[in-house]
Structure 1
């Protein structure tokens, strides 16, 4: 394990936007419990789809999609505030 300095571009939340040394663009650090919740929601949706319950699966996937969209929106706002370009096409 190596210790490195990172550029922290956000306050402390359930996620953080950080830029590692040598990287052009920052990344998003997601807390382990939040990552586990997202993974569990996707697994639940998969189980529901396999069981034929598409309505419940859609609800689970909508939760995950909304959560990920919030992360992307926050990332975009932070990079915009820092005057940095995005590493992807700006969401509509």
Structure 2
């Protein structure tokens, strides 16, 4: 895609980090993850991979638990927004 296309989207939460939005033509909303947050998620996965490569399974498990907590927070925000607006979950 070249350039920027402006569209109207439905905003189901406040516009802060991890906003729940639905783009035109989509049945279900998604979670808008800011670039720095996306980079942080990737960094966490790399940390887990590197710990596993070096045999540091306890460290990998701890990092995985933190990552799961972060993802659970995103998922909770998403499911709460859907429930507040009477939408069913896509899963």
TM superposition score category, shorter chain reference: over 0.9
Unmatched 5+ residue regions in structure 2? Answer: none
- RCO higher in structure (CA 8 A, sep ≥6): 2
Two-structure CA RMSD over aligned residues (Å): 0.8
- Structure 1's consecutive aligned runs of 4 or more residues displaced over 2 angstroms after TM superposition are none
1:22 pairs with 2:22 = no
1:66 aligns with 69
Q: Could you list the per-position Cα deviations for residues 41-84 of structure 1 after superposition, in whole angstroms to 9, with x for gaps in the alignment?
A: 11011000000000001111111111001111111110000001
TM (norm. structure 1) is 0.92
How many angstroms apart in 1 are the aligned matches of 2:35 and 2:18?
10
1:2 aligns with 5
Unmatched 5+ residue regions in structure 1? Answer: none
TM (norm. structure 2) is 0.93
Aligned residues: 88
